[in-house]
Amino acid sequence: MTAPTALSLAEIGQAFDQRRLSARDLVETAIANHARWDSKLHAYSLWTPDIARAMAQHADDVLAGGRRFGPLHGVPIAPKDLFAVAGMPTFAGSPRRLPARWEQDGPVIAALRRQAGVFTGKTHMVEFAFGGTGVNAHWGCPRNPWDVTQERSPGGSSSGAGIALLEGSALIALGTDTAGSVRIPASATGTVGLKVTAGRWSTDGIVPLSHSFDTPGVLARSVADAALAFAAIDPGAPRAIEPANLTGLRIGIDDAMWEDCALGIAEAAKAALDRLTRAGATPKPVSISAFAGAVEIFRRGSLSAVELQRFLARELPAWIERLDSINAPAIRRAADASDAAHRDRLAQLEALAASARTEIAGIDVIAAPTLTITPPLLSAIRDSESHWNANRALTRNTVPVNYLGLCAISLPVGFDAARMPVGLQLVARPRQEETLLAVALAAERVLGTARDLLGVPPLLA
């Protein structure tokens, strides 16, 4: 018999409607999965099975009355530990519990609570979301189960999100994405990660890294599940998103985003594109100068460091003294940044964003590898210099999406030479998430889901 946590969200909804499955049975399976794998994976900084059981019982009570509130009704959901959730502490990856204001539901959590979603706990993250490797000196780093011999990065800063999905303790994970922090762990763990346009979803009730670029995001086991989660969270989304017609679909290929990839990454992504081309899509060479400009501004010094430092100095000054030693120097240096310099760099990005919208006007989506490097070994990123070199490499193809105000999704398409998952990133114009998801759904129909393509991670086999 198929375990209930192996079902798609659509199948779970049907099983609820037909009374073949209860939310309590679903969450008990999720709890058992976590008990089986937690000692190896460490996906959560806070695990709350009693809260999950109570929420599942509420979901079942509603189902017994003949109602289902939406596609995430009764579904186990794992928020990242910077989402304020009533009844749960928030640490944001720091060693100290944040004040009570960070324990009140924001709009994203409230939407899921209204829908009778089930919160399983809080997943691990990089301290204050500042970094893409997943490393955290206070809480440790979840293990990426695709490598059974060595400990590799699961991606960050939403480091526990993809791992929670792989172990089956959650069927949807919530992350945030400021420079790639949803798409990086999605690619590194062979899951799907959706980054919406900044401003489309409220960041209220989410501990900020950068008010200019933060956005909530969703990680899921498939594009189909991600599309249902998008519809459940987004107040303006249609109830259902249908796959796009690939015939004649214009996929932009900027060669610069395909250069200097680790062995097997470009090859796996190119093989996926070839299959989409045979299914009717049309690849179109493009040169998007704004992408390179955004990366150059990012590498001059993180804008998010300035905005994080100012947030901490204003609201959490006592936390600055205990920052992770890898991140502390960059955050403290950011205190010296002038307002004028910060505004100038934001203005430069606004100009680049306008240029990008012009440069991609003639295509439907841009396609590129999500990550250009294999998720690094944790042993290779223990010091500050190696960590930040890896971080710059991990964010190369993701940060332009944030800095230019675009939306994007990462979906798994195969393995690199190290047998680690490869993600294909699809990028669309601002607030075109419905189009983006329609294209990604069509791609998933051609390529298969993560389970079809990758199978089970070796550590979980």
Active site residues: 80, 157, 181
Q: How far apart are CA 101 and CA 97, in angstroms?
A: 11
- Residue 87: alpha-carbon gap to chain centroid: 24
Token pair in block for residue 316 = 């959490």
Taking CA atoms, 342 is separated from 337, 411, 445, in Å, by: 7, 34, 44
- Reduce the secondary structure of the chain to three states and give it as a string: CCCHHHCCHHHHHHHHHCCCCCHHHHHHHHHHHHHHHHHHHCCEEEECHHHHHHHHHHHHHHHHCCCCCCCCCCCEEEEECCECCCCCCCCCCCCCCCCHHHHCCCHHHHHHHHCCCEECEEECCCHHHCCCCCCCCCCCCCCCCCCCCCCECCCCCCCCHHHHHHHCCCCEEEEECCCCCCHHHHHHHCCEEEECCECCECCCCECCCCCCCCCEEEEECCHHHHHHHHHHHCCCCCCCCCCCCCCCCEEEECHHHHCCCCCCHHHHHHHHHHHHHHCCCEEEECCCHHHHHHHHHHHCCCHHHHHHHHHHHHHCHHHHCCCCCCCHHHHHHHHHCCHHHHHHHHHHHHHHHHHHHHHCCCCCEEEEECCCCCCCEHHHCCCHHHHHHHHHHHCCCCHHHHHCCCEEEEEEEEECCCCCEEEEEEEECCCCHHHHHHHHHHHHHHHCCHHHHHCCCHHHC
Residue given tokens 């501990």 in the structure block: 207
CB neighbour list of residue 396: distance below 8 Å, 6 or more residues apart: 295, 372
Token pair in block for residue 94 = 């720091």
